[in-house]
Amino acid sequence: MLTLFSLSHSDYEEYSPFLVVHASKTEDEFKLDAHEAMNIVANRIVDTHSTDKGWIGTRDIVKEAVKVLIEQGYEAVQPIEVTMTGSDIIDTSQDIKFELNDIVLEKIIECNSKVRERVENE
């Protein structure tokens, strides 16, 4: 049975998961492999880096570490993904970037309007 693992990068604005599977690795083995891969990559980057190439960042290290994991027998996978993008508070139909039933959307807008009114009157 294949086990799904995620090696990810996260900062203040972005979360980038890189998914791999392996037939026999455990969670602890994956964590060791991932840390080892990141150290290998970081060392390679530092050894070959010049200031002309720009900054060295964690996303670069993680992205390259996935390639090391693949060399070690992991297989990269791409999930089928649905992303819902929009505002944390939905006040208008412009606050969302996905299809939502008009009736449901109006109920959400009405509910949030009442919450906003209550908060402003406190």
Residues 66, 107 share a domain: no
Residues 64, 31 share a domain: yes
**How many residues in the chain?**
122
DSSP string, 43-110: HHHHHH--GGG----HHHHHHHHHHHHHHTT-EEE--------B-SS--SGGGBSS---HHHHHHHHH
Residues 65, 40 share a domain: yes
User: What tens digit of pLDDT does each residue of 8-56 get?
Assistant: 999 888 888 999 999 999 999 999 999 999 999 999 888 887 667 778 8
Q: Is the pTM of this model over 0.95?
A: no
Residues 49, 95 share a domain: no
Owning domain of residue 106: 84-122
Number of domains the chain is built from: 2
Residues 60, 9 share a domain: yes
Identity at 68, one-letter amino acid code: V
